[in-house]
Structures are given as C-alpha cells and as structure tokens.
Amino acid sequence: MEDMALFGLDHLYSGTFLRKCIGSKILHFDLDCFYAAVEMRDQPHLRTVPLAIGGPPNSRSVLCTANYEARKFGIRSGMSSSEAVRLCSHLVILPPDFSKYKSVSEKVFTIFQNYTEKIEGLSLDEAYLDVTQESKAVFASSLAKDIQKKVLKETELTISCGVSYNKFLAKVASDWRKPNGFYVITPSSAPSFVTQLKIQYLFGIGKKTVARLNEMGIETCLDIQKMSPVRLKSLFGSRYLDIFLMAHGIDTRRVESGHERKSFSNEETFSRDLFDENEQKQGLFRVYKDWRISFFKKERLDCYDVTHLHLKVKYFDHRVVTHERKYCGSLEFNDFELLFDFLKSKCAEPIRLIGVGVRLEKKSSFKQLSFE
Ligand code: TTP
Ligand code: MG
C-alpha cells in the first residue's frame, strides 16, 4: 500500500473513485463475420460452405474475413488468400462489395440511434453505446437484447453483444459467446471474471508483448494484479496505470459519441406495387405514421428544429426520385398533407417503396446536452 501511495495509486481504493467507475451501463456490439454474413444472407447456397471475402488466391492478396465454417480450418482475417486455400482447398473466396456493407452498416447504426445518442462507432460493424440514462427505465440487458432482435429482423444478420459498466469489459463480453453472443459482466461478477482473464484481452497489448509476457509466466490479469507498481512500470512504461486498472476491471474511457441526430427517416417496400392515388395515399400514411411514432418515442423533439421534410419514392422499375422541402420549426399535424402534396406530383406510376423523413438541427441551447 505504501508503494501505491508513492505512485499516486492509493486513490484507486477510495469509494468515490470506485463508485464513479461502476455507475455506467455500456453496450458493445459487433456483427458476426460481417462481410461474409452479408454475402451468405444474399446468396443462400453459400451458407453451408467455407467462405471468405478477399482477393483471389493467385494474387498477393489477403482475406478481409471468413465465415465460421471456414474458421474451422484455421482461416482468419488478414491471412493471405493463397495460404487460406492451402488450408481448405474448397474455400469459396468472393471479392468484397464495400458499398453494400456500408449500406447494411448504416441500417444497423440507425437502429442504435433509436435507442441512444451516445454511440461511438469503431468500424462498420462495431460500436459502443452508453445507455446509462436509458437504463434507468429499462434494464441495460433488455435494451441490448431488443437491439439484437431488431438487427436480426431488419438486416437478417446476427450481432454479438456485451453488457458491462465500462468499454473494456463490454468489448470482452461481446466476444465471449460469439457468434450471436450475449454476455453480461456486472460489477459483482467482474472481480472473479478478470482474475482468470487472459492478458491478450487487455486493450492495447499487442501479440508480441503478450508472447513476451507469457514467456515470463504472466498469463492472466491476476498475474498483473499481483505486480508491484515498480514492476508494472518497468514492463509497460507510461501505460502501466491503464494496464493495472484494466487488470482490475476498471476502465475510465468514455463513449465518445460527438453525435447529433441529423435526420430521422422511415421507409417501407410494399408487398405489392401501389397503383392508384388512393392506395398510394394510404401507403404514404402508414409509412408516415410509423415514422412519427418511432420519432416521438425516441427523441426529445424539443432539442431539435426541423429544417427539411423529405420524401423518397421508388417506382415499380426501381427508379428512385427524392424530394426535399424546407420546413421551419416544429412538426405539426399538417405535415402529412404537405408530404402528400409532394407525392401527388410523383404518383403517375406504380410505386414500390415510399420513404419519409426530416432533416434536423439541434437547438443551440441543447447542444451541450450530449456531452453531459
Ligand atoms: P471484425 O469484427 O474484426 O470481424 P468479423 O465481423 O468478420 O468477425 P467476428 O465474427 O469475429 O466479429 O471485422 C469486421 C469486418 O471488417 C470484417 O467482416 C471484414 C473487415 N475486416 C477487414 O477487412 N480486415 C481485417 O483484418 C479485419 C479484422 C476485418
Ligand atoms: Mg465483427
């Protein structure tokens, strides 16, 4: 303990510090074998075969990812395509379709946005959500399960989720039961969880460092917990405090969203094309109604000004037209009529899809709220 005081670590044992560290509710989401899963969804014959996404084996290219069937053969992201084919001769390799993955990712992030504004996207398929506020009304784990279900329903993809009180543990948890995983680490289960946790899970420790530490007999977080600050400093340099804290299940990094909702929209592809004006009006009204319900459920509308109304129409032959009109102030009940006015000028042909939305601007008096 004297050692701790010497290194300024004694405050870690104060109640205030610990309470601050365990008071948050953080979710970490990560889609399962993302690029491969999108291709398996779109091409059912690929669902049961070992599949990778990447360049062809006769070139000097690597794999972006592989499905779980291919992983049984030892195939991994970043492996050269030629090595992968050596491990599994019947591996199917497809070239990546980035624009498709981007649009799927946007759908998933739109789902996240319906639950909280505090979202930190790490890549197309991975994000942290801080649901501390939202979980005062609903358990964080229920929110997490709800999001998993929504993602599955709307994208036909499975997403793994970890729930905990900080970023480090939430991320470890989302990986714990992959694929389609769900795992919760609470403040009371964390101490025993981390003692057995392998050091490769610690954020920011590379493969080489892990190998070097393993050679010294350091394998779990418990081994790090037992080290003196002098030893920690000699092994990890300036990062020793972060590593020491993580090994105790403590991580004070915040979810950095910087996010403001810029728009909110809803669209529906109809089960059959809508021909006459009356049908189209009904279709528009349904889309509009769902949009309004979810918007008002999710948003504190008083934080935003509506700047534009937006309408999207896709015709039977997949041609898309969009129309946007300036709009000032808050939403009233007459905006449906406004939207319908737009639609009337566009409805000469059968309609396959209608989308409605608004563009928003956060009122300046509310701008600082997201940084609370
Ligand atoms: P990951 O989430 O790391 O991997 P994954 O989603 O394929 O598999 P897991 O089930 O383990 O989460 O990365 C997401 C996507 O990013 C992945 O589908 C492809 C791409 N990617 C690359 O292009 N190169 C890489 O080296 C990695 C790791 C990922
Ligand atoms: Mg993933």
Confidence of residue 370 (pLDDT cuts 50, 70, 90): very low
More confident residue, 282 or 178: 178
Confidence band for 372, pLDDT divided at 50, 70 and 90: very low
User: With the CA atoms of 96, 98, 101 and 107 taken in that order, what torsion angle do they form, in degrees rounded to the nearest 10?
Assistant: -170
Contacts 24+ apart (CB under 8 A), 282-290: 283/351, 283/354, 284/336, 284/339, 284/340, 284/343, 284/354, 284/356, 285/336, 287/354, 287/355, 287/356, 288/336, 288/339, 288/356, 290/266
Asked whether the predicted pLDDT for residue 17 surpasses 80, the reply is no
* pLDDT score of 334 more than 70: no
Burial class (CB in 10 A: 0-12, 13-18, 19+), 65: buried
State residue 172's pLDDT score. 98
Structure-token match 């790490």, residue found: 122
pLDDT above 70: residue 299:
no
Predicted confidence band of residue 140 (pLDDT cuts 50, 70, 90): very high
Q: What is the mean pLDDT of residues 168-176?
A: 97
Is the pLDDT confidence value at 96 over 70? yes
Tokens of 100: 């498709």
| pLDDT over 90 at 268, yes or no | no
Q: 283 pLDDT exceeds 60?
A: yes
pLDDT of residue 173: 98
Ligand of minimum distance to the alpha carbon of 54: 1
pLDDT band at 290, cuts 50/70/90? confident
State how far the Cα of 215 lies from the Cα of 15, in Å rounded to an integer: 36
Q: Is 96 in the pocket of ligand 1 (CB under 6 A)?
A: no
Better-predicted residue by pLDDT, 131 or 3? 131
Distance CA 130, CA 112 (A): 11
Distance 32 CA to ligand 2 centre (A): 5
Pocket of ligand 1, candidates 125, 126, 128: which has the most ligand atoms within 8 Å of its Cβ, to mutate? 125
Question: Highest mean pLDDT: which of 61-70, 96-105, 153-162?
Answer: 153-162
User: Any idea which residues carry the catalytic annotation?
Assistant: 126
- Ligand 1 lined by 44 (C-beta under 6 Å): no
- Mean of the pLDDT values across residues 233-255? 91
Is residue 353 within 8 A of residue 266, CB to CB? The reply is no
pLDDT score, position 21? 77
> What is the per-residue pLDDT for 244?
92
Residue 273 in this model has a pLDDT that exceeds 80: yes
Q: Pick from 77, 122, 128, 175 the residue to mutate for probing ligand 1's pocket: most ligand atoms within 8 Å of its CB.
A: 77
Stretch 354-367: mean pLDDT, rounded?
Answer: 74
The sign one gets for the Cα dihedral 197, 198, 200, 205 is positive
**Which atom, in ligand 1's list, is nearest to the CA of 178?**
10
Q: Which among 31, 18, 313, 328 is positioned nearest to 187, based on CA atoms?
A: 18
